Structure formats: C-alpha cells, structure tokens
Amino acid sequence: MSKLQKNMFEQARTSVLLKQACEDAISYQNNSNQKAIYPSQHNLELLSEFDTQLPEQMGDENAILSLLAKQGELNTVRYANGRYYGFVNGSSLPIGLAAKWLADVWDQNAALFATSPIAAKLESICQQWLQQLFTLPPDTVAGLVGGTSVASLCGLAAARYRQLSRLGWDISQQGLFGAPALRIILGTLTHGTVVKGLNILGFGQQQIEWVECDEQGRMIVDSIPPLDQSCIVVLQAGNVCSGAFDDFHSIIPKAKAANAWVHVDGAFGLWAAASTMFADLTKSIHLADSWSVDAHKTLNTPYDCGVILCADPTALTHALHHQGSYIQPSENRDNMHYTPDMSRRARGIELWACLAYLGRSGIAELVELLHEHAIYFAEQAKIAGFKVLNDVVFNQVILTTGSDEVTVKTLKSIQDSGVTWCGGATWMGQQVIRISICSWATTQSEIDKSIAVFADCLAKQTQAK
C-alpha cells in the first residue's frame, strides 16, 4: 500500500470528513436567511487567502475543509434566500439538495447503463415524466446537460443534421464543408447563447435572418420570412428580460407545414406548460421539434441540470454520435447517446427526486406561485415609485425609474444593501432593473422587505439628483 493510500484509509477519514462537511453545510443553511445575499467588498478581499503556491506536500484535510467552509460562509451568493432575484437563478428544493448529497457520495458516471444502472434508470424515468408533463410526442427523448446553453446547442445540432438530410446531405459522412446552405430564423431578442451555439456549429451572421420583435420581446409573426425545409426557427418560451412567449400557435404549424425545424428555447419558461393557467401562452408548443429547459431555474433543482428534449431521436443521436470499441452499449438506456459528453455526473438523481416529490400538481403550484409573486412584486414596485415596462405574463419584471442615470445608481445601491439582490439590463434602449422570481423560498413578506429597500434606494438617488 502506498503512502497516499495509507493516508486515505487512516482512521476512516472519509466518514470523519463527511461528518465535518455535513455540520458545516447545515450551519450554512440554518444561518443563510440572516446573512447578506451578496458578499461585501471586505469579504471579497478575503478570497486572497487562496492565493498560494501549489503545496509541495500533502495537506491537512480538516484544515482544507475548514478553509472552504469559512470562505463559503463569506463569499457565496445565497440563491436560497427569498430576496434574491438575479439571473433567473432558482433555489434548491430540500429534497433535491438531499438527493444530490447522496448522488455526490455515490459519485456515479452517468455515461452508460454499465457505468451506473441507477443513473440510467432514473434518467429514463425523468424522460418519461417530462414528456408527460409537457404533453410532448411519445417518441421524445431527453438528455441531461449542464444548462440550457448546451441543451440548445444539442437541439440545434439535431436540427442541422435533419435539415441537411432533407436537402440530401449526410453531415455524418460528408461533413459540413460544401453542405447546402441552411437559413436560421431568429427574433432580434433571441438569447445570446443561441447565437453562440450556432457559431459553434458553423453558422455565421450571414445565415441568420433576423425577425423584428414587439415591445414585449415577441417575434412579430407577420415579419417572419417565407419558410422551407432549409430553415431552422428558434422561438422563445420566456424572454430573459420580459418573460414574454412567442406566438407558438401561429408560428409552429406554418413552420412544420414548410418542413422547417422549430427549436424552443424555454430555459425557465417551458415549465409554464405544466400549468393550465398558462395554456394560452404555451398553446401548440408541443408541435415543435426540440426544446431546451433548465430544471435548476423554475423547478428549483440544485445546480446544474439542463435538459434537451427532442421529438426526433434519430437526429439527436446522429448529431451527438459516439464511437469506441471499449464502449459497452446495453439494451437499457445509455445516457451518453443524448448529450455531447460521455463522462458526466448523474444529475438525473436529484431531478428525479424533485419530480417525484412535487408531482404534476406540485409543479403546477410552484409555477403559479412564482407568477403570483412576480405580479405582487410589480404592483408593490409601482407603489414605491418605479415604472413597470413589461406585461408580467410569467415570472419576470422589468423596472425603470424613468432616468437611466437614476436607474443605474439605484440598482447599485440595492445590490450593495445586502438585503436583496437583482441585476440590470438594457431593454428597448433603456437601462432597467431586472427582477426574476424563481425561488420557492420567496414569499410576500420577503418581497415587502425587498420593496422597502428598493423604495429607500430610489428616494436617496432622487434626492441626490
């Protein structure tokens, strides 16, 4: 046995370290709501404690873990706080967090059934449940990735494969160079990660046909060019600022009739399809070819858990093809066929736990609750002196003070308060404050505390001006 192994096995160190980590984690969780949501400048400067040379010798595990716990207490962003509204980041459901702890101890490689039967089984069940929840075609397959950025990349890769095959070109055999030109149809307010994914797949700006959007961020239907089988159309279920949904019922049937591929970027908004309350927003969304969504946003699973859903399994698996004589395929599900990566963590464990816990009615209730709190936030913000720029159709609220200068300074003051946190953006040429209600922990009481800070910060900036 090597010196390294002796150190590892000595005095059941794994159990001791896990117990220490558990105690630190529970302490962090119990105190979280009383702590500042975002680290202070003083605490950020303490991160310099990590600025050391690579150690020459093996270190002390307890000291290393204690350093992490101390810095994590001071320098993490507390998404689980009900007053955090930034970047569409959800909180973790307690059952999801507990399931992830188990999954981390199991440390499974979710590539194949052979590498983790439980990961393969649970991802298979998640695929079935998501298909049922969103009323997607029965052949729809799901792959679990880091987030919607990668999920959209997968959907677009499947679209590229299928649309080129319709034009008589097999990209798997013939490659991309010399292939027939494809047309990419995007709204002018499409999320930047979609364009990034298109660039990775070999599409340039000259292949994008931009469609103007209305004041809410929805693609203007009458501005969409004539479509054909060379087209890939990307629609949004939830604009990242306004929360607006494209008109799926008007657009998707026409696109499908023209043999165009439709991908829906539904990072946080696809979950609206789980509630009848939003039936008008999501009507005909099931007719698309692929969908991308994050469970770590609206569903409140732990990070990270993105999902690609595709109604054309052949297109997805051919686009993400894996080879290797050592790979042991099985008659069961092999997760790697539905994602770009092979080795990855088994994020389906906590996804399954959250879906199993909430069930259909619980998911609908969660989605509806986020919407109700967004409406309440918008109403209270108006009373506090802010102007709401969007129709609150889901969980997003856009605020302005009427002056770009005051809006920017007010936002900075809000962020520095430590009581609440949100981000900014540019919307229709204006500087805005962007509110994303994504946490199960948000209550009207927490919103009231946040609004009090918003009102105070606005008053100070108005007086200063």
Return the biggest CA–CA distance within the chain: 72
pLDDT per position as a tens digit, 383-434:
999 999 999 999 999 999 999 999 999 999 999 999 999 999 999 999 999 9
pLDDT per position as a tens digit, 58-81:
999 999 999 999 999 999 999 999
| pTM score of the predicted model | 0.96
DSSP string, 46-114: GGGGG--PPPSS---HHHHHHHHHHHHHHH---TTSTTB-STTPPPPPHHHHHHHHHHHHHT-B-S-TT
**DSSP code of residue 333:** -
What is the spatial order of strands in the sheet that 183-187 belongs to? 141-145, 306-310, 290-294, 261-265, 231-236, 183-187, 208-211
**DSSP code of residue 223:** G
**DSSP code of residue 226:** P
Give the span between the Cα atoms of 278 and 262, in whole angstroms: 21
- How confident is residue 13, by pLDDT bands cut at 50, 70 and 90? confident
> What's the one-letter identity of residue 297?
K
pLDDT per position as a tens digit, 88-114:
999 999 999 999 999 999 999 999 999
